[in-house]
Amino acid sequence: MARRSGRSGRELTGRDLSEFGTDIAVSVPDEGPWLTRVPAEVTLALAGVTDDRLAGYADDELLDEHEAERGVRLRDLARSALAEGRDLYCWSSL
């Protein structure tokens, strides 16, 4: 069972995520947790987010300092993944 990327990928790229197809489901038990590979296009878009854009997003969404820092760390993780030729994965649970 493949799952599609959510709202955050659409916000990052400004495009309909159906362009990216489905994510590769690495682990999909019925009740979760789920592990999916983040589409390369989303990783690339995330890696390209500037500090100013992250700060603007944090202000718009009223994020506290710790939440804003998570955005920076996620962006930096995407940059590292690209530099090392690796993929990003998303672990999710209900």
Region of 37 (left: φ > 0; alpha: ψ -120 to 50; beta: rest) is beta
- Cβ proximity of 59 and 40 under 8 Å: no
Helix, strand, coil percentages in the chain from 3-state DSSP, rounded to 5 = 50, 15, 35
Tell me whether residue 1 is in a domain. Answer: no
Write out the residue range of the structural domain in which residue 38 sits: 7-92
Tell me whether residue 55 is in a domain. Answer: yes
Q: Of the ranges 1-15, 24-38, 47-61, 73-87, which one carries the lowest mean pLDDT score?
A: 1-15
Tell me whether residue 22 is in a domain. Answer: yes
| Mode of pairing for the β-strands spanning 24-27 and 89-92 | unpaired
Tell me whether residue 40 is in a domain. Answer: yes
Residue 51: is its pLDDT beyond 80? yes
Work out the pLDDT band at 86, boundaries 50, 70, 90. Answer: very high
Beta sheet of 89-92, edge-to-edge order: 24-27, 34-37, 89-92
Tell me whether residue 61 is in a domain. Answer: yes
Residue 66: is its pLDDT beyond 50? yes
Residue 4: is its pLDDT beyond 90? no
CA–CA distance, 10 with 58 (Å, rounded to integer): 17
Tell me whether residue 2 is in a domain. Answer: no
Specify the number of domains making up the chain. Answer: 1
Tell me whether residue 87 is in a domain. Answer: yes
Tell me whether residue 82 is in a domain. Answer: yes
Work out the pLDDT band at 11, boundaries 50, 70, 90. Answer: low
Does the pTM surpass 0.75? The reply is no
Strands (E), the chain: 24-27, 34-37, 89-92
